[in-house]
Amino acid sequence: MSTLEGDLMKAKSTSLVGALVVLAALALAPAAANAATLFGSGSSAMVPYLESLEKGYKKVNPKFKIVYTANNGNAGAKDVQDGKSQFALQTRPPLPSDSGLSYSKLFLDGLCVAVNPGNNVNGLSIQQVKDIYLGTVTQWSGVGSSVGSPISAFGRFSTAGLYTFFQSAVLGGATQATNVTALDKDGEVAVAVKNNKAGIGYVGLANSKPGQSGVKRLKLNGQPCQASAIRTLKYPLSRYGWVVLPAKKPNKTATKFADWVRTSYAAGKIIDKAGAVPAFNAKKPPKKPKKKNKKK
Amino acid sequence: MNPEGLRPDRRAELLLGALVCGVLLFVLALVVFVFREAWPSFAHNGLGWFGSGGNPDQQIEKIFTSGNLLQDPVYDFHAWPIIWGTFLITVVAVILSFVASLFVSVFVVEFAPEWIRRLLEPVIRLLASVPSVIFGLLGVLILVPFIGNHVITDGNRESVAYVVSLSGYSLLAGVLILTLMIAPLMVAVFVDGLRSVPRGWLEGSLGLGINRWRTFWKIGVRTARPALVAGTVLATARAIGEVVMLAMVTGGVAFAPNPADGLLFFVEPTRPLAATILQTAEELTSPPMRQTIFAMAAILLFSAMMLSIAGWAVKQPMKRYGVRS
């Protein structure tokens, strides 16, 4: 931002036209701007993680700066294809339309199935969750709960990354039934389940934290929705967060940053704190953290 | 670049004229662009686009994946539940709001004591400018749980459990909040209209011994009809285009509430056009999906145009004895 303002200040003294030209040049050629500034776009679910990671990476490279547009995963991948972004963050594995892109896994994230804390059910099987979301089971008594009213299932729209993931991992590719109330954001699902004693919903890790979110995470196939089970991939709804780079000539700052996120001990700690699960990060702090990070 | 013969005011005239032409061209380009993008979706489905058949959410998913997997584009789309939802929410909210606004504005202009009037008017104007997302938040946190926990019974839920889930996210929540949102807009326009009724006309009627209520109803409201139409058109346009709030409280399922379900009808979920566009907007990367989204946008644009034209047409015969607005 500071460089932009500086340019504007200079431009003001010349003329309005000059300012416009400078602005246009900046907007058209992000790649030509300061080398330590990365332009990225993609998944909105990854924004909180990216923000804390950007802060952490400043210790390695003080000039480092990210300009990120959360226009969702698919659009982000397209931006990288078109050369509009230097990297994208994505929550789904590559598709055939992703030609010319290289996907690499960054860390793990989990999707929890949560119910109202008043519900006495503690765990469900994937099959039971599938039955609920396909509308074949509509009573809580059908899945061993003592809640007297019919199930109020909450989910997301077909456009959400979490929906796509839930659909392939739980529903076997089928569309969720019309008796699932589809909401716009992850947090809205958590609020809806919290306010509805017969509610059930699928919510990301960050919005289903025990204690503060007001919802109760369920065990799926006997595995709890928490870091320990997600790290080992035993929890059935574990998934990777991906970084998308152009397959040819990726930006060097971007690859360095991605490697740091993937492997460094410091990034692992940040990921853990932000609510996701580090997958490939070093378990122990390196002896001379700065040098080691630079090598990678 | 030396306008030798042009006087300053002449220059301003030309500049403003050019600006107006620019705006007109822009609107024209917008309409052409939207309809051109939308055409493949309409061409493929024909009138079936507006009909019912299947679950639009499933269709959207198929359209989207066909584009993303680089398969042959799929265009099958039957938007009836979405159109029906838009229609219901808009019409019910506009009717409720019209009745309420009319009484409120008659009260404000004619019957309210001076201090109430001075208090009410700024409050109403403020209400008209509250961002809709705030109403949406109130809806999600207060109205929706209230409907879910106190209006809908377990028996109700039971009766439709296999088709839809009655959780409080509903037509009713959408209509109530939308009414609250568009009423201040209507009141603001109605009040201006009623106030511009010539004093003499009302006093003449009063002088003949006709009571205040009847005078105001027969002379004031009647004369202000063009303003009533203008306010209604304005409010309807806002209702059709309302996005964020409705996406938050109506339940997000492309389901057509069924009048045969009796009163339950009002607590069934639905999803209007504008909210559907908002929620599918991130699928713009898939070409057939983009065309379907533009088709929905074209319908919205078309309804808005028709609304303006209808408002204008309705106003024509009233103009003779009415006040201008």
B251 and A72 within 8 Å at the Cβ level: the answer is: no
Asked if B52 is an interface residue toward chain A (Cβ–Cβ < 8 A), one would say no
- Do residues A12 and A50 share a domain? yes
Cβ(A114)–Cβ(A199) below 8 Å: no
- Do residues A117 and A234 share a domain? yes
Asked if A135 is an interface residue toward chain B (Cβ–Cβ < 8 A), one would say yes
B68 and A74 within 8 Å at the Cβ level: the answer is: yes
What's the pLDDT at B323?
58
CA–CA dist B263, B123 (Å, integer) = 34
CA–CA dist B180, A222 (Å, integer) = 47
Q: Distance from CA of residue A291 to its chain's centroid?
A: 29
Asked if A188 is an interface residue toward chain B (Cβ–Cβ < 8 A), one would say yes
| Cβ-based neighbour number of residue B260 at 10 Å | 7
Phi/psi of residue A247, each to 5°? Answer: -65, -35
Residues in chain B within 8 Å Cβ distance of A178: 55, 57, 163-164, 253-255
The total number of structural domains that make up chain A: 2
Across B133-147, b (16+ Cβ under 10 Å) vs e yields eebbebbbeebbbeb
- Do residues A259 and A175 share a domain? no
Give B290-319 pLDDT, tens digit per residue.
999 999 999 999 999 999 899 889 888 877
Asked if A70 is an interface residue toward chain B (Cβ–Cβ < 8 A), one would say no
| Nearest CA distance, A241 vs chain B (angstrom) | 19
Nearest CA in chain A to B256: A178
Angle of the B80-106 helix axis to the B171-195 helix axis, nearest 10: 40
State the ipTM, two decimals. Answer: 0.71
Task: Specify if B255 maps to a domain.
Answer: yes
Q: What is the DSSP string of A199-215?
A: EEEEEETGGG-TTTSS-
What's the pLDDT at A1?
37
Closest C-alpha to A258, from A295, A286, A296: A296
Given a cut of 50, the residues of chain A with pLDDT beneath it are: 1-34, 291-296
Give B132-178 pLDDT, tens digit per residue.
889 999 999 999 999 988 888 888 888 887 788 888 899 999 999 99
- Do residues A171 and A132 share a domain? yes
HSE at residue A101, side-chain half, CA atoms within 13 A, is: 28
Task: Specify if B325 maps to a domain.
Answer: no
**In this structure, what CATH number is given to the domain that contains residue A204?**
3.40.190.10
Nearest CB to A183 within list B149, B160, B252? B252
Domain limits for position B189: 79-320
**In this structure, what CATH number is given to the domain that contains residue B284?**
1.10.3720.10
Q: Which residues contact A114 (CB under 8 A, 6 or more apart)?
A: A190, A193, A200, A201, A202, A203, A208, A213, A215, A216, A217, A218
Residue type, B278: L
Q: Which of A238, A256, A273 is the last residue of a domain?
A: A238
B324, pLDDT greater than 60: no
What's the pLDDT at A193?
92
What's the pLDDT at A145?
85
What's the pLDDT at B207?
93
Residues in chain B within 8 Å Cβ distance of A182: 57, 251-253
- Do residues A219 and A124 share a domain? yes
Task: Specify if B116 maps to a domain.
Answer: yes
Give B10-58 pLDDT, tens digit per residue.
888 889 999 999 999 999 999 999 999 999 999 999 888 998 888 888 8
What's the pLDDT at A287?
66
Residues 278-297 of B with CB under 8 A from A: 278-286
Asked if A97 is an interface residue toward chain B (Cβ–Cβ < 8 A), one would say yes
A96 and B64 within 8 Å at the Cβ level: the answer is: no
A179 and B164 within 8 Å at the Cβ level: the answer is: yes
Residues in chain B within 8 Å Cβ distance of A41: none
Task: Specify if B9 maps to a domain.
Answer: no
Helix (H) / strand (E) element for A32: namely: none
- Do residues A102 and A134 share a domain? no
- Do residues A118 and A227 share a domain? yes
Domain limits for position A88: 2-108+239-295
Asked if A78 is an interface residue toward chain B (Cβ–Cβ < 8 A), one would say yes
Task: Specify if B52 maps to a domain.
Answer: no
A184 and B252 within 8 Å at the Cβ level: the answer is: yes
Burial of A181 (0-12, 13-18, 19+ CB in 10 A): buried
B162 and A72 within 8 Å at the Cβ level: the answer is: no
Residues 74-133 of B with CB under 8 A from A: none
| Nearest CA distance, A193 vs chain B (angstrom) | 10
Nearest CA in chain B to A134: B162
B164 and A152 within 8 Å at the Cβ level: the answer is: no
What's the pLDDT at B286?
80
Place of tokens 């009423």: B183
Give B22-34 pLDDT, tens digit per residue.
999 999 999 999 9
What's the pLDDT at B4?
61
How much is the CA Rg of chain A, to the nearest whole Å? 22
Taking residues B214-241, report their average pLDDT. Answer: 90
- Do residues A44 and A141 share a domain? no
| Nearest CA distance, A220 vs chain B (angstrom) | 23
- Do residues A147 and A86 share a domain? no
Asked if A159 is an interface residue toward chain B (Cβ–Cβ < 8 A), one would say yes
Residues in chain B within 8 Å Cβ distance of A175: 55, 57-58, 61
- Do residues A133 and A173 share a domain? yes
3-state SS, chain B, equals CCCCCCCHHHHHHHHHHHHHHHHHHHHHHHHHHHHHHHHHHHHHHHHHHHCCCCCHHHHHHHHHHHHHCCCCCCCCCCCHHHHHHHHHHHHHHHHHHHHHHHHHHHHHHHHCCHHHHHHHHHHHHHHHCCCHHHHHHHHHHHHHHHHHHHHCCHHHHHHHCCCCCCCCCCHHHHHHHHHHHHHHHHHHHHHHHHHCCCHHHHHHHHHCCCCHHHHHHHHHHHHCHHHHHHHHHHHHHHHHHCCHHHHHHCECCCCCCCHHHHHHHHHCCECCHHHHHHHHHHHCCCHHHHHHHHHHHHHHHHHHHHHHHHHHHHHHHHHHCCCCC
Label residue B88 by pLDDT band (50, 70, 90): very high
Task: Specify if B73 maps to a domain.
Answer: no
Task: Specify if B36 maps to a domain.
Answer: no
Task: Specify if B149 maps to a domain.
Answer: yes
Q: Return mean pLDDT, chain B.
A: 88
- Do residues A128 and A203 share a domain? yes
Cβ(A229)–Cβ(A109) below 8 Å: no
CA–CA dist A91, A82 (Å, integer) = 20
A138 and B161 within 8 Å at the Cβ level: the answer is: yes
Q: Which residues contact B56 (CB under 8 A, 6 or more apart)?
A: B77, B78, B79, B81, B82, B254, B276
The total number of structural domains that make up chain B: 1
Q: Which of A189, A205, A238 is the last residue of a domain?
A: A238
Tokens of A120: 């006495």
